[in-house]
């Protein structure tokens, strides 16, 4: 059994726990009518394109109209938070997906870029209230990036799109809105 299998939420656990509390909230996977901004990094763009393909597939499967998706390319992962802030601040999207890859090299550059990218994305969503999803791979090797961007259910771009949809629906639930 893989480590991720051991740490995953067991089947039925959320429902079982919901019966033990007064109210339990979960977002749905319905992307119908949602407007999505996607900020995509050109640096390590071969990986970003694979993440983007996964995200677009997941959005389509959830019912999001492709005409409601706006894509903005930025130079690299470090610039993703600023593009996310522009999307969120304009008020024309319901969620922002930030996609890219930071691959560790032989210098300390990785630590600065990955950490600041993550912190910036988190700051944008906390300041704006718009779900901004960290779909940035932070890996040691190209092989790890390729493995996390395969054209299947394990694609982290696909996961980012699903997370964005779920968070919009959760935040719009009557108990939180």
Quick one: angle between helices 156-171 and 45-61, nearest 10? 50
Contacts of residue 4, defined as CB under 8 A and 6 or more positions apart, other chains included, come to: none
- Annotated catalytic residue within 25, 75, 92, 109: 109
Quick one: angle between helices 80-90 and 109-128, nearest 10? 10
Q: The tokens 């339990």 sit on which residue?
A: 24
For residue 57, report the phi and psi dihedrals to the nearest 5 degrees. -60, -45
Angle at 3 between CA 104 and CA 141, to 5 degrees: 15
109 is catalytic: yes
Residues designated as active site = 109
């Amino acid at each position: 059994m893989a480590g991720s299998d051991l740490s995953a939420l067991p089947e039925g656990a959320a429902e079982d726990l919901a019966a033990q509390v007064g109210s339990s909230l979960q977002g749905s996977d319905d992307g119908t009518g949602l407007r999505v901004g996607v900020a995509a990094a050109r640096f390590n763009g071969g990986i970003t394109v694979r993440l983007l393909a996964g995200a677009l597939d997941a959005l389509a499967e959830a019912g999001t109209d492709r005409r409601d998706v706006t894509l903005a390319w930025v130079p690299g992962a470090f610039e993703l938070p600023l593009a996310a802030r522009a999307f969120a601040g304009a008020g024309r999207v319901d969620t922002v997906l930030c996609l890219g890859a930071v691959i560790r090299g032989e210098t300390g550059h990785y630590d600065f870029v990955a950490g600041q990218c993550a912190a910036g994305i988190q700051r944008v969503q906390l300041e704006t209230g718009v779900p901004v999803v960290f779909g940035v791979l932070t890996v040691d090797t190209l092989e790890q990036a390729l493995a996390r961007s395969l054209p299947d259910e394990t694609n982290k771009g696909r996961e980012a799109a699903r997370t964005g949809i779920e968070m919009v629906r959760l935040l719009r639930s009557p108990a939180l809105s």
